[in-house]
Amino acid sequence: MKKDKIMVFIPVYNCEKQITRVLSQINDDVLTYVDEIIVVNNLSTDNTVKVTQDYLLKHRELPCKIINNNANFNLGGSHKVAFNYALENGFDYVIVLHGDDQADIRDYLPILKKRSYKRADCVLGGRFESRSRLIGYSKKRILGNHVFNLIYSLAAGKSIRDMGSGLNMYSTNMLKSKFYIGLSDSLYFNAEMLLFSAYYNVDFKFYPITWREEDQVSNAKLFNLSYNLFVMALRYRLNKKKYIDSYCKKDIYEGKIIFDNTAGGEQ
The predicted structure's pLDDT at residue 217? 57
Indicate whether 89 pLDDT > 70. yes
Residue-wise pLDDT tens digits, 188-213: 999 999 999 999 999 999 999 999 88
Least confident of 2-16, 36-50, 188-202, 206-220: 206-220
The predicted structure's pLDDT at residue 266? 58
The predicted structure's pLDDT at residue 83? 98
Question: Looking at per-residue confidence, does 64 or 252 come out higher?
Answer: 64
Expressed as residue numbers, the domain containing 51 is: 6-263
Task: Determine, yes or no, domain membership for 125.
Answer: yes
What is residue 115's three-state secondary structure?
A: coil
d(C-alpha 267, C-alpha 192), whole Å: 35
The predicted structure's pLDDT at residue 220? 56
Give the side-chain half-sphere CA count within 13 A for 180.
28
d(C-alpha 253, C-alpha 70), whole Å: 8
Average pLDDT over the chain, rounded to whole? 93
Alpha-carbon distances, residue 90 vs 35, 46, 230 (angstroms) = 11, 32, 37
Segment 114-133 shows an average pLDDT of 96
Indicate whether 125 pLDDT > 90. yes
The predicted structure's pLDDT at residue 250? 63
- CATH assignment of the domain containing 185: 3.90.550.10
The predicted structure's pLDDT at residue 267? 60
Count of CB atoms situated within 10 Å of the CB of 181: 18
Indicate whether 219 pLDDT > 60. no
The predicted structure's pLDDT at residue 224? 85
Task: Determine, yes or no, domain membership for 51.
Answer: yes
What is residue 164's three-state secondary structure?
A: coil
Question: Looking at per-residue confidence, does 166 or 123 come out higher?
Answer: 123
Task: Determine, yes or no, domain membership for 159.
Answer: yes
Indicate whether 185 pLDDT > 90. yes
Segment 130-156 shows an average pLDDT of 92
Task: Determine, yes or no, domain membership for 178.
Answer: yes
Element (H, E) at 5: none
Count of CB atoms situated within 10 Å of the CB of 198: 20
Task: Determine, yes or no, domain membership for 46.
Answer: yes
Task: Determine, yes or no, domain membership for 1.
Answer: no
Beta-bridge partners for 38 = 9, 65
Domains held by the chain: number: 1
Least confident of 15-19, 193-197, 201-205, 223-227: 223-227
The predicted structure's pLDDT at residue 218? 58
